[in-house]
Structure 1
């Protein structure tokens, strides 16, 4: 999702899904050359093209990502919520809708056709018989002043696959190696939360510490500072790995520890080839309560937090920093307010970073 490439509805192509056969001008089984021809010879984003050898290619201007299986044949198409084609299945619009509303329509259509509906790892409907796996992203809109801003709701996206991937779209190659897919934990359609009264209040010092966590701590020191907490999940990679190839030989590097009970994720950087705490994400529904100049940062509708921070910095003539993902934070803090989905709503969490940390 590229938020600054958001398109108005009138600017978006309209495609029809032919389940397990194709979508719009694309047909599963097409070669790379045939896909490019079907997309009017549009050139894919070079960052993910790798000279035409990558297992997926992103066409960001069109809001489409295509995936290739054995023999470089098309096996899946992902549609972006903000800029991709508006895809219809039997009269049901799939893209850029409120997730719960799209879910109701899909369930009714599945009932009419006798299709079995599952739930994917994101908690959204998945229908193997149609090769459809739904998802959602942050909605962006245009403010009265003319700039693009985050909204408080999620809107639907979809992964559409051929018969080879239909049984498990997100768990199949090559989709499972796509950006961030491995990090998505399984959900059953519910988002766990901790009430405000049960959540501790943490202070923070920009680029130095967050609650009991000080930047530069080792993973074991982080766990000890959280009361001996055990990570619910660990993410890492091999130094020479690339999304399109298996991990190379070398030492596996820890990138992050997810502490679900504490409601935080610890992110590690490598200085002198040793993992040290470089950033902390405080989760939107379970993390400690943290404020910036009296503004609550965690677990609120994200557009409300954005508005509060913008008013604060405008009153003081301060600056605002914006990441490529659209996360924003006051200049000089290296703190960014992030938007994370909870059902149809996008809630706020915050990432606090050491000075040397580069946030995408």
Structure 2
């Protein structure tokens, strides 16, 4: 296995999103200690990073996870990044396009998909729900009322979907890289 390999859906752990509440075993509002104590079937704690230089977050941490099955492979990016604000707890969860769990919302797989196909399918889902649709400066589709941003990530010669799910406190401007709460380190991940 190389760093550019992409797991198939059947090789990925399966997580479900409950908008603005939970992503797999991670509930928005959890503290750093609660997240570290969570028993993950397929993930292991990689490291905890203090995120500095964030205008809206003085005490932000990024908790990085790897796949337990990735032993012997040095991954350049974390499989899951949980963004924890000391005041509000877990506020954002980003999932790696190549290696992350398959996260579904309304039966739609959000991880490791072709961005244009996923945006069309998810856009139709949002229209059927009469939900607001926004786009980031990078043309990432965002559903602020659901707290979902469909970002893109390089996987070798491919570009695949890297979803970011956020809590209610980050949802209002989650598409806006300059005025929203999503940390720059997430917008800089490609």
Q: Which of 302, 317, 322 does residue 115 from structure 2 map onto?
A: 302
1:341 aligns with 2:154: yes
Does the 8 A contact of 2:6 with 2:155 survive in 1? no
Q: Is the 8 A contact 2:59 2:85 kept in 1?
A: no
Match of 1:269 in 2: 85
1:214 is the counterpart of 2:18: no
Per-residue CA deviation, residues 195-248 of structure 1 (Å, 9 max, x unaligned), is: 32232211221111111111111112112224396532433245xx58xxxxxx
Superposed CA offset, 1:74-125 (max 9, x none): xxxxxxxxxxxxxxxxxxxxxxxxxxxxxxxxxxxxxxxxxxxxxxxxxxxx
Residue 253 of structure 1: how far off its partner (Å): 4.0
Aligned residues: 158
**Distance 1:304-1:334 versus aligned 2 partners, 3 A rule:** same
Residues 254/192 of structure 1: CA separation in 2 closer, same or farther (3 Å cut)? farther
1:194 aligns with 2:21: no
Instruction: Find 1:258's aligned residue among 35, 58, 64.
Output: 64
TM-score by length of 2: 0.71
Change (3 A) 1:192 1:260: farther
In 2, distance between residues paired with 1:268 and 1:327? Answer: 23
- Offset of residue 324 of structure 1: 3.1
Mapped partners of 1:230, 1:293: distance in 2: 27
Normalised to the residue count of structure 1, the TM-score between the two structures is 0.40
- Give the 4+ runs in structure 1 shifted more than 6 A: none
Please tell me whether the aligned partners of residues 234 and 254 of structure 1 are also in contact (alpha carbons under 8 angstroms).
Answer: no
Kept in 2, the 8 Å contact 1:282–1:350? The answer is yes
Question: Cα distance 1:220–1:192, how it changes in 2: closer, same or farther (>3 A)?
Answer: farther
Given candidates 100, 121, 125, the residue that maps to 1:287 is 100
**Secondary structure, counterpart of 1:260 in structure 2:** strand
Compute the displacement of 1:314 (Å).
3.4
Question: 2:102 aligns to what SS in structure 1?
Answer: coil
The 3 A distance-change label for structure 1 pair 230 and 298 is closer
Q: Per-residue displacement from partner, 1:48-92 (whole Å, max 9, x unpaired)?
A: xxxxxxxxxxxxxxxxxxxxxxxxxxxxxxxxxxxxxxxxxxxxx
Q: Name the Cα RMSD after superposition.
A: 2.6
1:134-173 deviation digits (Å, cap 9, x = unpaired)? xxxxxxxxxxxxxxxxxxxxxxxxxxxxxxxxxxxxxxxx
- Secondary structure in structure 1 of the residue aligned to 2:134: strand
* Residue 232 of structure 1: aligned partner: 46
SS in 1 for 2:3: coil
Structure 1's unaligned 5+ residue stretches are 1-188, 243-251
Aligned to 1:132: none
**SS state at 2:20 partner:** coil
The 3-state SS of whatever aligns with 1:277 is strand
Q: Which runs of 5+ in 2 are unaligned?
A: 69-78, 178-190
Query: After superposition, where does 1:1-360 map in structure 2 within 5 Å?
Result: 190-227=3-40, 230-238=44-52, 241=53, 253-261=59-67, 263-271=79-87, 276-357=89-170, 358-359=173-174, 360=177
